[in-house]
Structure 1
Amino acid sequence: MTTYGYFLSSEEFTPAELLDQARMAEQAGFEALAISDHFHPWNDQQGQASFVWSMIGALSQVTPLPVTTLVTCPTVRLHPAVNAQAAATAAVLTGGRFRFGLGSGEALNEHILGDPWPEAPERLEMLEEAVEVIRKLFTGERVSHRGTHYRVENARLYTVPEEPAPLYLSGFGPQAAALAGRIGDGFVTMRPDTDLVERFRRAGGGSKPVIGGLKVCWDTDRDRAVKTAHRLWPNEQLPGELAQLLPTPAHFEQASTLVTEQMIADALTCGDKAADHLDAVGAYAKAGFDEVYVNQIGPDQKQFFDFYRTEVLPGLRA
């Protein structure tokens, strides 16, 4: 049975708005929450970028829903040992309902301290070593580690949950999917790509969870919804590795001038036809995903949650 959750966009909404959305998601019948981990938004129109670990602490106090980061890069901006401590505390605060989604990251968030931004193969190598460090520290034992990319000396986490948080690895290509299958507790990918899911499972993923997500824009006027999505999230339609390589919101704004409203209309579910939303979300269940997280673009949050509570979630579960 697929779990349907709500995706909290820390790039678009204030901390208070995210907490309100979490409450509304629970009331609407969503079963879990995901939240992005960004230092910058993708563009200035989105306009926010709160610190994810503060948000998870706050979420733990307002809702019992499980929370997953989609996703944290544990390799550059924060050392893996610091990420391990943050994740362990999040797991304790949520009573074991925290899942740690991890990925190789984007220059947009990771270049801010002046560190070099490696090419994709090295980023995956760094991610693998970071996972090793995090797992060692999750034991609560004293850890010293000298690897290719990271050093840890006499570190011990004193605040740890009874069971370590599962590590879900993100991937959008075959190498990352294979890495997730080999070392992850689950796989995160944002498109219902059956080939990628199969690559993960063949590489060792087996029956481990597959997690996905999508953006929609509910509005009673479809054309207005398309315009809202185009204004706020044109970066969703940028091709190739641009999302991993562009370093600032200004660069994303420049590249996004190539994205037309028609491209958004063709790619995203916009408007208030329940059948369109059922098809878009249901495609993930058909592709073998265990969890799907939906994010509403724009201001009509209460109306979106009412719509999903009455017309979409019951249909998905039927």
Structure 2
Amino acid sequence: MTRYGYFLSSEEFSPPELLDQARMAEEAGFEALAVSDHFHPWNDEQGESSFVWSVIGALSQVTALPVTTLVTCPTIRMHPAINAQAAATAAVLTRGGFRLGLGSGEALNEHVLGDAWPAADERLDMLEEAVEVIRKLFTGKRITHRGPHYTVENARLYTLPAEPAPLYISGFGPKAAQRAGRIGDGFVTMQPDAELVDAFRRAGGGDKPVIGGFKVCWDTDRQRAVKTVHRLWPNEQLPGELAQILPTPEHFEQASSLVTEDMVAQATVCGDDADEHVKAVAAYAQAGFDEVYVNQIGPDQAQFFDFYRTEVLPRLTGDE
């Protein structure tokens, strides 16, 4: 049975707002939380980008819901050994309820230390080696690792959960899905694409969890919702690899000037039609996803949670 969670957007909301949303999500009947991990927002209009590990520590104190990063890049901005320590501590604080979503990253966040941004194949190789380092450290043994991309010397994690945090690997194409099936404990992808799910399962994913998420904008006025999405998240409609290679919010703003309100209206669930919201969420279950996370764009958070509590989640879970 598919589990329904709420996606906390670190790029649009401050840490106190994220904590408030987590409380409301639990009260509304959502079963899990996801949280983004960025150094920058996609554009200045979004206006936030807090340090996810501090936020997760705070979340562990205000909600009992499990938390997954969607997703962390463990390759450039933070060394995988440091990511391993952060994830292990998060798992302890969440009483074993933490899952580490991992991906090959975006230049937007990873260029900030001045490192060159590698080509896609090299980024995937770096991700695979990072996963190897993290798994070694999760054993609690003292390790030394010398690989093509990372060196770890005489390192040991002393604060560990009873069981290692699962590593869910992100991918948006067949090659990435296959690699996720080979090296991951689960698969993260954002579109309800049954073919990608099948590629993951056939490559070794088996019955491991597949999770995804998407954005909506609840509002009693659909056109106002469209304008809110167009103002805050036009980058969601940028094609191809732009999201991976553009280096600054200003570049995203320039590219997003090509995104129209009509494009947003066609691609995003906007307004208060419960049928549309249910259909969009259910598409993930139909594509074979085990978990789907919904994020509300804009200011109407309390109204969104009340709407999902009364109109959407009961229909998805059969509790009408």
Q: In which range does the TM-score fall when normalised by the shorter chain?
A: over 0.9
Other structure's SS at 2:112 match: coil
Q: Residue 8 of structure 2 aligns to which amino acid in structure 1?
A: L
Deviation of the 1:232 alpha carbon? 0.2
Q: Residue 255 of structure 1 aligns to which amino acid in structure 2?
A: A
Count, aligned residues = 318
Match of 2:147 in 1: 147
The C-alpha deviation readout for 1:253-281, integer Å capped at 9, x for no partner, is 00000100000000000000000000000
Give the 4+ runs in structure 1 shifted more than 2 A: none
Q: Residue 272 of structure 1 aligns to which amino acid in structure 2?
A: D
Deviation of the 1:175 alpha carbon? 1.0
Match of 1:267 in 2: 267
Deviation of the 1:56 alpha carbon? 0.2
Match of 2:43 in 1: 43
The C-alpha deviation readout for 1:219-252, integer Å capped at 9, x for no partner, is 0000000000000000000000000000000000
Q: Residue 15 of structure 2 aligns to which amino acid in structure 1?
A: P
In 2, Cα distance between equivalents of 1:275 and 1:214? 16
In 1, Cα distance between equivalents of 2:240 and 2:314? 36
Specify every segment of 5 or more residues in structure 2 that has no aligned partner in the other structure, as ranges. Answer: none
Q: Residue 235 of structure 1 aligns to which amino acid in structure 2?
A: N
Match of 1:159 in 2: 159
Match of 1:19 in 2: 19
Match of 1:197 in 2: 197
Other structure's SS at 1:22 match: helix
Residue 34 of structure 1 pairs with residue 34 of structure 2 = yes
In 2, Cα distance between equivalents of 1:74 and 1:182? 18
Match of 1:241 in 2: 241
Residue 222 of structure 1 pairs with residue 222 of structure 2 = yes
In 1, Cα distance between equivalents of 2:14 and 2:161? 29
Match of 2:314 in 1: 314
Residue 209 of structure 1 pairs with residue 209 of structure 2 = yes
Match of 1:123 in 2: 123
In 2, Cα distance between equivalents of 1:142 and 1:23? 38
Match of 1:62 in 2: 62
The C-alpha deviation readout for 1:148-178, integer Å capped at 9, x for no partner, is 0000000000000110000000000111101
Other structure's SS at 1:75 match: coil
Instruction: State, as a whole percentage, how many aligned pairs show the same letter.
Output: 81
Match of 1:177 in 2: 177
Other structure's SS at 1:294 match: strand
Match of 1:282 in 2: 282
In 1, Cα distance between equivalents of 2:124 and 2:173? 11
> Normalising by the residue count of structure 1, what TM-score does the alignment of the two structures yield?
1.00
Deviation of the 1:198 alpha carbon? 0.6
Q: Residue 207 of structure 1 aligns to which amino acid in structure 2?
A: D
> Normalising by the residue count of structure 2, what TM-score does the alignment of the two structures yield?
0.99
Deviation of the 1:33 alpha carbon? 0.1
Other structure's SS at 1:314 match: helix
Residue 232 of structure 1 pairs with residue 242 of structure 2 = no
In 2, Cα distance between equivalents of 1:64 and 1:179? 32
Other structure's SS at 2:113 match: coil
Q: Residue 308 of structure 2 aligns to which amino acid in structure 1?
A: Y
In 1, Cα distance between equivalents of 2:258 and 2:45? 16
Q: CA RMSD in A?
A: 0.3
Match of 1:101 in 2: 101
In 1, Cα distance between equivalents of 2:74 and 2:18? 23
In 1, Cα distance between equivalents of 2:162 and 2:196? 33
Deviation of the 1:183 alpha carbon? 0.5
In 2, Cα distance between equivalents of 1:116 and 1:122? 12
Q: Residue 76 of structure 2 aligns to which amino acid in structure 1?
A: V
The C-alpha deviation readout for 1:84-114, integer Å capped at 9, x for no partner, is 0000000000000000000000000000000
In 1, Cα distance between equivalents of 2:23 and 2:139? 33
Q: Residue 231 of structure 1 aligns to which amino acid in structure 2?
A: R
In 1, Cα distance between equivalents of 2:288 and 2:46? 32
